[in-house]
């Protein structure tokens, strides 16, 4: 028995994101969802003849508005405690991110707050962030640990991430990031050994994390230290990801290519050769324009990656330094800051985000058979996502074809 989950009809346009560089826009179209998966996209007449809205559990008259895939936010540190709004103000007065970190602020301050927070507080915090994300159209999000920096707290963070995934409608993808920073006063190599010998085996035993990420950066983890962590993670079944070339060009992108990572992220200082290496190794570049915006740094150039054959994803990097849950805002920065075309930025925020998370079941698309995670915009086209800047243009969110937010 099949079940007609939903029909969304009379859309002004439906963006299916059918290929990495093909938005595949259908005008005057409808989407039919059977058993939670996309069954058909096409002219409203044809689709509604085969799938009558009256027979669907959910029928939505889009009335000329646009339908797009749900956003896939492939890079966040959305589980944290405490508040760093004062650092935002200090940055506006000229203090740099690294100066704040060197004074024990930044990541290390959030680490202290997370260690002190109860599991219930952490879970409440993450569920709150997920509520905001869903309202802004995110239907799948990656969340990293990395504010524990000891075995007990890293395991607690991953457990909270798994509980949030169970409790919330947004799909949450868990990443272990014990190598996010070096704990206060700790020797770096000594800490890397702790990540490899104490944290990783326990994380693997707990069986929650899917990816392993490191902050490969000057004064944080060298390429060799990052390699140690990621190879050990891989031995435990975790797929590598790398924070690469954010403040300096250290070699994290080449490392990501070498290890066949799922993604290399940030890439503000990546070169043409780095982009070519990522393309050759089929590593998805993930650009985080909100972070450049928050840091007052120059944006990454998406064309460098696209021209090399590795069209980039974009994500929010939602964290206390770059506090935005909105993929719409990331898309707006992708266009107005980085020069992407609107359709390109939408692909970057949907199917390419799914690629950065190794999702190959159609997530981030509205192609036949894909999970029917889709947005009805309060606008006639996807262009309004970056164009109507600073405003949430998401009207309705369907997850697996069920209306979960309006």
Where along the sequence are the contacts to ligand NIG (CB under 6 A)? 77, 106-107, 110, 215, 243, 246, 291, 317, 319-322
**Residue number of the CB atom closest to ligand NIG:** 321
CB of 110 to ligand NIG, least distance (A): 5
Tell me the binding residues for Zn(2+). Answer: 75, 77, 243, 317
* CA–CA dist 321, 318 (Å, integer): 8
Residues at the binding site for N-formimidoyl-L-glutamate are 147, 319
Q: Nearer to ligand NIG by C-beta: 176 or 215?
A: 215
Please, what is the minimum distance in Å from the beta carbon of residue 326 to ligand NIG? 16
* Binding site listing: 75, 77, 84, 147, 180, 243, 246, 317, 319
Question: What's the distance, CA 155 to chain centroid?
Answer: 21
Q: Which is nearer to ligand NIG, 245 or 344 (CB)?
A: 245
CB nearer to ligand NIG: pick between 18 and 153: 153
Could you tell me which residues are beta bridge partners of residue 25? 15
Closest CA to 208 of 154, 261, 170: 154
Q: HSE, CB side, 13 Å, CA atoms: give it for residue 338.
A: 35
Tell me how far apart the alpha carbons of residues 116 and 286 are, in angstroms, rounded to a whole number.
Answer: 32
C-alpha–C-alpha distance, residues 29 and 67, integer Å: 9
Minimum CB–partner distance for residue 224 and ligand NIG (Å): 19
Q: What are phi and psi of 378, to 5 degrees?
A: -90, 55
Instruction: Find the helix or strand (DSSP H, E) in which 178 lies.
Output: strand 171-179
The encoded tokens of residue 76 equal 């966040």
Annotated binding site for Fe(3+): 75, 77, 243, 317
The number of beta carbons lying within 10 Å of the beta carbon of residue 262 is 26
The alpha carbon dihedral of 27, 30, 36, 37 has a sign of: negative
Of residues 37 and 249, the one with the C-beta less far from ligand NIG: 249
- Of 266 and 400, CB closest to ligand NIG: 266
Shortest distance (Å) from residue 63 CB to ligand NIG: 40
Helix, strand, coil % (nearest 5) of the chain? 40, 25, 35
Binding residues for 4-imidazolone-5-propanoate: 84, 147, 180, 246
Write down the least CB distance from residue 344 to ligand NIG, Å: 23
Nearer to ligand NIG, 216 or 310 (CB): 216
Say whether 304 sits in a helix, a strand or coil.
helix
CB of 278 to ligand NIG, least distance (A): 18
For residue 83 the two structure tokens come to 């508040």
């Amino acid at each position: 028995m099949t079940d007609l989950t939903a029909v969304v009809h009379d859309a002004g346009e439906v963006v299916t994101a059918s290929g990495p560089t093909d938005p595949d826009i259908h005008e005057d179209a409808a989407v039919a969802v059977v058993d939670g998966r996309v069954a058909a996209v096409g002219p409203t007449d044809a689709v509604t003849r085969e799938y009558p809205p009256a027979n669907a559990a959910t029928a939505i008259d889009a009335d000329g508005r646009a339908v797009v895939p749900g956003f896939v936010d492939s890079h966040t540190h959305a589980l944290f405690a405490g508040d760093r709004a004062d650092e935002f103000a200090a940055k506006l007065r000229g203090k740099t991110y690294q100066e704040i970190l060197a004074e024990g602020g930044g990541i290390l301050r959030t680490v202290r707050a997370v260690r002190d927070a109860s599991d219930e507080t952490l879970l409440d915090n993450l569920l709150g962030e997920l509520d905001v994300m869903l309202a802004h159209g995110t239907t799948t999000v990656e969340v990293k640990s990395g504010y524990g920096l000891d075995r007990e707290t890293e395991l607690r963070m991953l457990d909270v991430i798994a509980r949030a995934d169970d409790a919330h409608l947004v799909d949450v993808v868990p990443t272990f990031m014990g190598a996010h920073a070096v704990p206060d006063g700790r020797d770096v190599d000594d800490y890397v050994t702790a990540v490899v010998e104490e944290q990783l085996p326990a994380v693997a035993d707990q069986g929650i994390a899917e990816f392993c990420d490191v902050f490969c950066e000057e004064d944080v983890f060298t390429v060799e230290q990052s390699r140690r962590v990621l190879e050990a993670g891989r031995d435990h079944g975790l797929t590598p990801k790398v924070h690469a070339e954010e403040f300096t060009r250290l070699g994290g992108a080449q490392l990501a290519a070498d290890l066949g990572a799922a993604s290399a992220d940030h890439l503000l200082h990546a070169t043409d050769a780095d982009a070519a290496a990522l393309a050759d190794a089929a590593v998805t570049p993930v650009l985080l324009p909100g972070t450049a915006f928050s840091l007052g740094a120059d944006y990454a150039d998406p064309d460098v990656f696209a021209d090399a054959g590795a069209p980039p994803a974009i994500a929010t990097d939602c964290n206390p330094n770059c506090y935005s849950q909105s993929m719409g805002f990331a898309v707006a920065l992708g266009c107005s800051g980085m020069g992407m075309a609107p359709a390109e930025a939408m692909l970057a925020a949907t199917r390419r985000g799914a690629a950065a998370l190794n999702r190959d079941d159609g997530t981030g698309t509205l192609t036949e058979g894909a999970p029917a995670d889709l947005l009805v915009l309060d606008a006639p086209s996807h262009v309004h996502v970056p164009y109507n800047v600073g405003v949430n243009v998401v009207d309705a969110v369907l997850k697996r074809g069920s209306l979960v937010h309006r």
